[in-house]
Amino acid sequence: MPATRNYEAFRRDGYQLLPGLLPSDTLARLRGFFDRQLEPFPIANKALRDSPDGTVVTNIGGLLGWGDPAPLELLALPGLMAVAQAICGPDFVPIQEFAVIKHRGDANPVLWHQDMVNDRSAPALAMGIYLDDALPGEGALRYVPGSQLSADPICELAHRPAVEVPAQAGDVLIHDMMVAHSSEPMKGSRLRRVIYLELLSTALALRYYSRAFVEQRQRLLFAARRHRRATLPSAGCYKPRMKDPRPRDRKHPVDYVLADVHASVVRPVPANYCFERIAADLG
């Protein structure tokens, strides 16, 4: 990505759209991954919901633990990881990865919330990677600009003026994990798949998580590099700037490393939701 890109809007408003950041070949592989994962079987890490077209999958957690390395490629994309490094610094941690899937008529809003309330001593970044368009007036994400800098309760922030941010497939929408945001149900479009990566500077991560957990998650960055270099040797590849926390991973297949990282479950710091607002809206 160009070294001249700046993040003034991100720092001021708490969000910024980065158009066309996802390479088209990566987009195609990720869509193939979801074609295999959207079967509505009631298993762990999948959330299901009824819709006019039957039962559908609305959330998938732990994307890198499903035995398919397609999402892992995201952690080795030079353009994408350059954004993470520019905002979080060279020593960052991919805390969790998941997908939010909206289906036409599923009546599935995303309530007003903050992803992670923290002391803002260092950056906390969420990346929304769009595999489908989020059209204006079609339940695209809404943000309260500047709310990441406020200490006011989330339900108070939820009543302030918001800005809808449409996006197209291949776009990446980044936001501060303290900014207030939400989305309404989708009615017109058939399907919208968005992958979310949550990344913290190591300094901030160590205020909320153990060093062992931080190092476990950083192993993913090195596994991603190995995977991309093996499968796409002529493509650009991000090189992590931190020390490899587990050099012996190089002796094991990448899928073994992914399974090992996800074998020990640690609950992320929970999001901060406004449940009063949804009650008022329904009333």
- Reported pTM: 0.94
Six-digit token string for 111: 């309530």
CA-based nearest residue to 101, from 38, 42, 54: 38
pLDDT per residue as tens digits for the range 197-211: 999 999 999 999 999
What's the Cα-to-Cα distance from 188 to each of 33, 135, 137, 154, 278, rounded to whole Å?
Answer: 24, 9, 9, 29, 22
Query: How is the chain split into domains, by residue range?
Result: 8-282
- CATH architecture of the domain with range 8-282: Sandwich (2.60)
Is the pLDDT at 2 greater than 50? The verdict is: no
Which pLDDT belongs to residue 195?
98
pLDDT per residue as tens digits for the range 128-150: 999 999 999 999 999 999 999 99
